[in-house]
Amino acid sequence: MPAAFNNLVGLKPTRGLLSTSGVVPACRSVDCVSIFARTCKEARTVYSTTRGFDKDDPFSRERGPAAGAAPWAAGPFRFGVPRRSQMQFFGDEHAEELYDGALDKLKSVGGEAVEIDFSIFRCAAELLYSGPWVAERLAAIGDFLRSEGDGMDPVVRKIISSGERFTAVDAFRADYQLRELCRRASEQWAAMDVMVLPTTGTIYTHKQIAAAPIQTNTNLGYYTNFVNLMDLAAVATPGGFRSNGLPFGISFVGPAFSDDSLLTLAERFLGETRSAEVAQGCVAVAVVGAHLSGQPLNWQLTERRSSLLKTCRTAPDYRLYALNGTQPAKPGLVRDCQFKGPGIEVEVWAVPEDEFGRFVAAVPAPLGIGNATMDSGESVKCFICEPYGIAGATEITHFGGWRTYLASLKA
């Protein structure tokens, strides 16, 4: 919310990736240290500098292999939006217009909107202040409240003191409820890569907050209060200005450990430029034949949550052969350093790290996965053919790619 109100980028990282040692806790089990910056690049710099495992923080954790793998980050992506009936702008028509404009912009940079059931996330959000997590706030400052409570803000004192009414049984029941909601939410996540929400549905003046502090703050948390409880990451970005000059923001929300990918997507939305890189938790793999889009083995990529990054060509010193006796038909790519040809058309896919081994294990001889140089000079994993495999094969290098060769067979 502070990011939205100040036209800033805000990173709410995955719980435990930034140490909370030395932080006065609110709800210690779900607390996060957030980053506010002018640009995604600045936020990424601070994040990469400050994250790391802290043995003195019992809530600290590290990202494992493929955790938060996001093959979609650099290519087409599906973004979830709540049903319109589930959205709240609290009478702020300008915010609604700016949100719709942001959705249109996301479509223009490769996004596909997917309608989701936001009620599951709202149910989780209500647990933060209406459930026993309020008691965790009391656990944090209970002694202070008892000794210095008269000097506290009365609204804050009222909210934290309400934690006394909850029992251990209430806490367990709420935990069970939250786990059930997370399980139900996984069905929604299966249909989307990232959720895109207004950071807040509206913005209030100090006077409005003072007149109804609990309700207005509840309204402001409508799109955010579930994020920490459900172990999600989020990046808030500027989303334009209302006619009165006040800023509006949207938030990209993703599964735990998707922090870097959310920043990458936010950069695309904001038009910030940065050098291309492989999606977080993924291996870039160039495919040249039966695994190309629309070809018979492409499913081996798509069922492993892989995403197409780009179509390009290899460096000029590669030859392509139509192999004999393969089912389905496959080509063989061979490097010849003495050859200068047109380069061979390939597709580069982002394959999640935890799926890469299974993908490679399915590659039959004489093919294998090695390194190949693209026309850009970058080196990526790629299908290559062992020399013995091209014995008796037909060279098709002059076609420049497998698709063109297949088309010539139909001509």
Query: Could you give the residue range(s) of every CATH 3.10.490.10 domain in the chain?
Result: 282-410
Confidence bin at 129 (pLDDT 50/70/90):
confident
Helical segments of 296-391, H only: 299-302, 353-361
CATH architecture of 2-131+166-270: Alpha-Beta Complex (3.90)
Q: Which long-range contacts (CB under 8 A, 24 or more apart) does 360-364 make?
A: 362/300, 364/326
The per-residue pLDDT for 275 is 44
The per-residue pLDDT for 130 is 87
CATH architecture of 282-410: Roll (3.10)
Contact between 220 and 253 (Cβ < 8 Å): no
DSSP letters of 189-256? HTT-SEEEEES-S----HHHHHHSHHHHHHHHTTTTTTTTTTTEEEEEEEEEE-TTS-EEEEEEEEET
CA pair distance 409, 323, nearest whole angstrom: 15
Which residue type is seen at 259? D
The DSSP 8-state label assigned to residue 316 in this structure reads S
Contact between 379 and 371 (Cβ < 8 Å): yes
In this structure, what are the phi and psi dihedrals at residue 15, rounded to the nearest 5 degrees?
-55, 130
Contact between 253 and 197 (Cβ < 8 Å): yes
3-state secondary structure of 25: coil
Q: Residue 411: is its pLDDT beyond 60? A: yes
Confidence bin at 354 (pLDDT 50/70/90):
confident
Which two three-digit tokens encode residue 79?
Answer: 């973004």
Average pLDDT taken over every residue of the chain: 93
C-alpha 233: how far from its chain's center?
8
Give per-residue pLDDT as tens, 321-340. 999 989 999 999 999 999 99
**Diameter of the chain measured on Cα atoms:** 90
**Model pTM score:** 0.81
Which two three-digit tokens encode residue 357?
Answer: 């081994």
Neighbours of 362 (CB within 10 A): 9
User: To the nearest whole percent, how much of the chain has pLDDT over 70?
Assistant: 98
The per-residue pLDDT for 76 is 86
Query: Could you give the residue range(s) of every CATH 3.90.1300.10 domain in the chain?
Result: 2-131+166-270
The per-residue pLDDT for 277 is 58
Which residue type is seen at 31? D
Contact between 201 and 82 (Cβ < 8 Å): no
The per-residue pLDDT for 120 is 97
Give per-residue pLDDT as tens, 293-317. 999 999 999 999 898 989 999 999 9
Beta bridge partners of 382: 286, 370
In this structure, what are the phi and psi dihedrals at residue 178, rounded to the nearest 5 degrees?
-65, -40
CA pair distance 406, 58, nearest whole angstrom: 58
CA pair distance 362, 319, nearest whole angstrom: 23
pLDDT average, residue stretch 69-89: 90
The angle that helices 154-161 and 213-220 make with each other, rounded to 10 degrees, is 70
